Amino acid sequence: MNRSTPQGVLLAFLAYSAYAVSDASVKMLHGSLSAYEAVFFGALSGVVALPLVRRRGERLDDVFRARNRGMWFVRVGAALTGSVGSVTAFTHLSMAEAFSLLFLMPTFVTILSVIFLKEPVGWRRWGAVLLGFAGVLIVLRPGFRELNIGHLGAVVGGLSGALTVVTLRRFGQSETRMSLYGASLIGPTVGGGLLMLPDFIWPSPIQWVWLLGYGLLMALANILVMLASARIPASLVAPAQYSQMLWAIALGYLVFGDGLDATMALGVAVIILSGILTFMREKVRKPQGWRRVPPTHPR
């Protein structure tokens, strides 16, 4: 084991704990501000991480540059829809339920890889896809409970995260880190800023606390993922993402008074199992061009 491996694993777990607390912070707003406003201020807070993200030889204005402009705009759009979808999900759903649907991202990655990367997918990965959808049906229980916009937001968030992963793995190695990180800021900042104008409300002091907690912790988590990925391969960073579900259950129970019934717990377990099986197949197959790209948080 490399000497830096324990440090990298610890950084990965710290990163995903920061993501979870960031999501809890935006949930603390309880929908008192529009999702667009939360997304705007959250992304704006991420600007503080730019000097730490920049590699030697890169410039700050590289956030607006890309060798492949088409894919840059795809990432900008996916960052906006993913952020709005995630904030909507955490506003209207329990943390465990929101995370369980956002964890459909590996399933969506498999489907999008077939469509856009023309990647061959064997029966084991298709089996994991079907298992993931079965878990969603268990969680949602269509026909037995009322679905709301939060469920749609979570699915949109997971799909947007998958689109980001696929574009990163296809074009990420040809772009600068500033360009990749900048796209994730520009989409939510510009898009969220324009969409929030009709219903803009100046945040109260306590709302500023939750907004800054949401944005700054997300920026911290992004930095920690990068630091972890510099020390260990992505195959060791990715499993730490599932520790978020433990945080979601704990924070949901202790902070928001959320319960977790047996049916939802079963669905959550099935979805997580699906994601782990998908990840294991990708690790075994090592698709070309996917090796150096770190995992992406579904937002």
At residue 118, the pLDDT reads 78
Q: What is the mean pLDDT of the chain?
A: 84
At residue 68, the pLDDT reads 85
At residue 133, the pLDDT reads 83
Q: What is the pTM of this model?
A: 0.87
At residue 27, the pLDDT reads 96
Confidence of residue 147 (pLDDT cuts 50, 70, 90): confident
pLDDT tens-place string over residues 164-203: 888 877 776 778 888 888 888 999 999 999 999 999 999 9
Q: Are 63 and 179 in contact (CB under 8 A)?
A: yes
DSSP labels for 180-219?
Answer: HHHHHHHIIIIIHHHHHGGG--PPPHHHHHHHHHHHHHHH
Instruction: Choose between 38 and 6: higher pLDDT.
Output: 38
Residue 73 class from Cβ within 10 Å (0-12 exposed, 13-18 middle, 19+ buried)? Answer: middle
Confidence of residue 116 (pLDDT cuts 50, 70, 90): confident
Average pLDDT over residues 141-146: 73
Q: Is the pLDDT of residue 42 over 90?
A: yes
At residue 160, the pLDDT reads 92
Residue 214 class from Cβ within 10 Å (0-12 exposed, 13-18 middle, 19+ buried)? Answer: buried
CA distance 13 to 169: 22
> For the chain, which residues make up each domain, given as ranges?
5-285
At residue 127, the pLDDT reads 85
Report percent pLDDT > 90 for the chain.
35
pLDDT tens-place string over residues 78-107: 999 999 999 999 999 999 889 888 888 877
At residue 186, the pLDDT reads 93
Sign of the CA dihedral with 126 first, then 273, 143, and 89 last: negative
At residue 291, the pLDDT reads 41
Q: Per the structure block, which two tokens stand in for 230?
A: 């510099």
Q: Is the pLDDT of residue 159 over 50?
A: yes
pLDDT tens-place string over residues 195-230: 999 999 999 999 999 999 999 999 898 888 878 877
Instruction: Choose between 269 and 150: higher pLDDT.
Output: 150
